[in-house]
Amino acid sequence: MARYKRSFVLYADLLSSVDHLTDEELGKLFKHILQYVNDQDPVLEDRLLLTAWKPIQRFLKEDLKKWEDKRQVRAEAGRKGGLQKQANLAKGSKNKQKVANVAVSDSVSVSVSDSVSVINNISNSNELPQPDAFDSYIERWTQATGRTIKSKRSEVAKTAIKHFNARIREGYTLEEITTAINNAASDPHHSESGYKWLTLDFILRPQQLERWREDNREQRKEADMISQVAAIAERIERERQAQP
């Protein structure tokens, strides 16, 4: 798989391709799929499993091509947006410096000078290249979960800022991130637990954002089902091997 791609989709209609397999065979096939998407170049010699694997491989290749094309578009949009934001920040930094110089020369207040210095330090460190966008992200996360954060300077918020900036640089948009938040918030796993696990940083992790950015609950359900079946198959195989 591509470097930043942390997930893949198994379509519901593939059930007809694997319905004739035993639990043990299904477990082997699922293991082969995981090895394939992790670029381990596995070899499948069983002709029965090959008949089930070929359509899955075709869909995986098609989805990877679509993902790479979409990521290139996002990356280019992010690059252009980043250049504009850097220009805006540079302009803003100059204006802030002028304010600082006036404050010092007129001896208005040491605290004003200190405040401007702090703002410049944050801008120069690239910690907050998109403060308005991150504020919007916090607002939408709060709306979806009903939770709040104590301070944007907390360790949780600092981690979220870094991950948010990383996802934006990769080409994701605020709207895509918002969609992922809403999709995750509507899932019973999160809503029934009071959004305990849907933290400020949760949806900004690459694998979680890729999983929830599209409303593919049926696909996730199918993937979870296959994962459970594979686990059962592995357990059966271990028990068989343990028998004298």
Per-residue pLDDT tens over the stretch 121-147: 433 434 444 567 888 898 889 989 988
The DSSP annotation for 33-73 comes to: HHHHHTT-------HHHHHHHHHHHHHHHHHHHHHHHHHHH
Domain boundaries, the chain: 129-213
Compute the Cα dihedral for 86, 83, 139, 151 and give only its sign: negative
- Across 221-228, average pLDDT: 59
Of the pLDDT bands very low, low, confident and very high (cuts 50, 70, 90), residue 69 is confident
- Across 103-115, average pLDDT: 43
Question: What's the CA gap between 30 and 50, in Å, rounded?
Answer: 12
First to last CA, the chain: 40
Residue 226 neighbours by CB distance under 10 Å: 19
| Mean pLDDT, the chain, whole residue set | 75
- Across 29-56, average pLDDT: 87
pTM of the model: 0.39
What's the pLDDT score for residue 78? Answer: 66
What's the pLDDT score for residue 128? Answer: 42
What's the pLDDT score for residue 115? Answer: 39
Residue 86, classed as helix, strand or coil, is helix
Question: What's the CA gap between 209 and 203, in Å, rounded?
Answer: 5
The CA distances from residue 32 to 8, 26, 57, 88, 142, in Å, are 14, 10, 10, 49, 41
Helical H segments across the chain, by residue range: 15-18, 23-37, 47-105, 110-124, 131-145, 155-169, 174-185, 188-191, 206-212, 217-242
Question: What's the CA gap between 71 and 210, in Å, rounded?
Answer: 12
What's the pLDDT score for residue 97? Answer: 62
Of the pLDDT bands very low, low, confident and very high (cuts 50, 70, 90), residue 4 is low
Which position has the token pair 């007809």?
Answer: 16
Of the pLDDT bands very low, low, confident and very high (cuts 50, 70, 90), residue 43 is confident
Residue 129 DSSP one-character state: S
Is the pLDDT score of 108 beyond 50?
Answer: no
More confident residue, 242 or 227: 242
Which position has the token pair 């944007």?
Answer: 152
Is the pLDDT score of 218 beyond 70?
Answer: no
Longest CA span, the chain: 90
Note the pLDDT tens digit of each residue in 16-27. Answer: 778 888 989 889
More confident residue, 118 or 47: 47
What's the pLDDT score for residue 12? Answer: 77
Query: Which are the contacts of 103, defined by CB distance < 8 A and separation ≥ 6?
Result: 109, 112, 113, 116
